[in-house]
Chains A and B, each alone.
Chain A
């Protein structure tokens, strides 16, 4: 059974600081997704990582994937208050009937002035 674990689960950081959220998963997959959820809102797709060594960047967020280590990271550079949200990683798993995403617990990020 595929398990996806994120850490930390809660992260309080100051504006301007850097930090990394980690996502570990238990079985082989080459599709890793990052989502953002604001309170009371839907999940918004941030990144889709498709292969070992993939790196994607959007603004102050950068995501990477190491399929051999079964690890993805979401790096936050010079955090700003607008980045406060809950971040989820999800791992894709497929069989001949189709696919599904298994989500981590989420990391609740709070950026303080």
Chain B
């Protein structure tokens, strides 16, 4: 149990589908993050939310749409994805995006395959 729970663990979707990834943290943190982990590439930061406000969008295509209804929940809505979007999507949280010391706590990730 990492304190950060992601669902589903695995997702296979076609390019015309719409799906959502869910992340929930039970650590009382106020910042949440989406990272993309592709084979043989560094973890890529996608979005940052601090106290429910988006503070970072790292030039992510609009086919990825994040939503943060409260500090404990983070969603990533997916539509018309491409095969190159297949990757492990990791959610993380920290006490605050302004806290310089706090490390990130990661969930187990959602393994996404786009067919």
Smallest distance from the beta carbon of A91 to chain B beta carbons, Å? 11
Q: Is B45 in the interface zone, CB < 8 Å from A?
A: yes
**Whole-angstrom CA separation of A33 from B96 in the bound complex:** 16
Smallest distance from the beta carbon of B88 to chain A beta carbons, Å? 9
Are the CB atoms of A98 and B106 closer together than 8 Å? no
Stretch at the interface among A13-21, A58-66, A67-75, A101-109: A101-109
- B: which residues have CB within 8 A of A? 2, 4, 31, 33, 35, 40-43, 45, 48, 50, 55-56, 90, 92, 96-101, 103-109
- A: which residues have CB within 8 A of B? 4, 31, 33, 35, 41-45, 48, 50, 88, 90, 92, 94, 97-106
Given A31-B100, A45-B103, 7 additional A-B pairs, CB 8 A: A41-B108, A42-B106, A43-B90, A45-B105, A97-B50, A101-B45, A103-B42
